[in-house]
Amino acid sequence: MKVALVDTVKKKEGEKLLSAAGFSIVSCNPDMVVSYGGDGTIMRAEQKFPGVPILPLRASMVCKLCPDISNEEILSRVKNGKFAVSEMWKIQASTKGVTLDGMNDVIVHNADPRHAIRYTVFVNNKPMGGEIIGDGMVIATPFGSTGYYRSITDSYFEVGIGVAFNNSTEQSDHIVLDENSVIGISVLRGPAIVYVDNRKETIFLGENDIVEIRKSDKIARVVVLLD
Residue 222 lies in a domain: no
> Among the three residues 17, 47, 81, which one is the final residue of a domain in this structure?
81
Is the pLDDT at 205 greater than 90, yes or no? yes
> Among the three residues 51, 81, 111, which one is the final residue of a domain in this structure?
81
Same domain assignment for residues 136 and 70: no
Residue 224 lies in a domain: no
Same domain assignment for residues 59 and 155: no
Residue 99 lies in a domain: yes
Same domain assignment for residues 100 and 169: yes
Same domain assignment for residues 70 and 108: no
Same domain assignment for residues 75 and 105: no
- Stretch 205-209: mean pLDDT, rounded? 96
Is the pLDDT at 222 greater than 80, yes or no? yes
The percentage of the chain sitting over the pLDDT mark of 70, rounded to a whole number, equals: 99
Same domain assignment for residues 74 and 97: no
The percentage of the chain sitting over the pLDDT mark of 90, rounded to a whole number, equals: 84
The model's confidence at residue 170, banded by pLDDT at 50, 70 and 90, is confident
Domain that holds residue 175: 90-217
Residue 225 lies in a domain: no
Position 144 scores a pLDDT of 92
Same domain assignment for residues 168 and 189: yes
The CA distance from 100 to 218, in Å, is: 11
Position 5 scores a pLDDT of 95
- Stretch 33-42: mean pLDDT, rounded? 92
- Stretch 154-158: mean pLDDT, rounded? 93
Same domain assignment for residues 131 and 207: yes
Same domain assignment for residues 27 and 95: no
Task: Please give the sequence-ordered ranges of beta strands (E in DSSP) within the chain, or none if there are none.
Answer: 2-7, 24-25, 32-37, 54-58, 83-95, 98-102, 105-110, 117-123, 126-127, 132-134, 136-140, 161-166, 175-177, 183-189, 192-196, 203-205, 210-225
Residue 131 lies in a domain: yes
CATH number of the domain bearing residue 49: 3.40.50.10330
Same domain assignment for residues 75 and 94: no
Task: Check if the beta carbon of residue 121 is closer than 8 Å to that of residue 129.
Answer: yes
Same domain assignment for residues 115 and 24: no
Is the pLDDT at 199 greater than 80, yes or no? yes
Is the pLDDT at 7 greater than 90, yes or no? no
Residues 6+ apart with CB under 8 A from 204: 111, 190, 191, 192, 193, 194
Residue 208 lies in a domain: yes
Position 191 scores a pLDDT of 96
> Among the three residues 81, 104, 134, which one is the final residue of a domain in this structure?
81
Same domain assignment for residues 190 and 105: yes
The model's confidence at residue 129, banded by pLDDT at 50, 70 and 90, is confident
- Choose between 177 and 227: higher pLDDT: 177
Residue 223 lies in a domain: no
Tens digits of residue pLDDT in 85-127: 999 999 999 999 999 999 999 999 999 999 999 999 999 999 9
CATH number of the domain bearing residue 108: 2.60.200.30
Residue 169 lies in a domain: yes
Query: How many folded domains does the chain comprise?
Result: 2
- Stretch 158-163: mean pLDDT, rounded? 96
Position 61 scores a pLDDT of 74
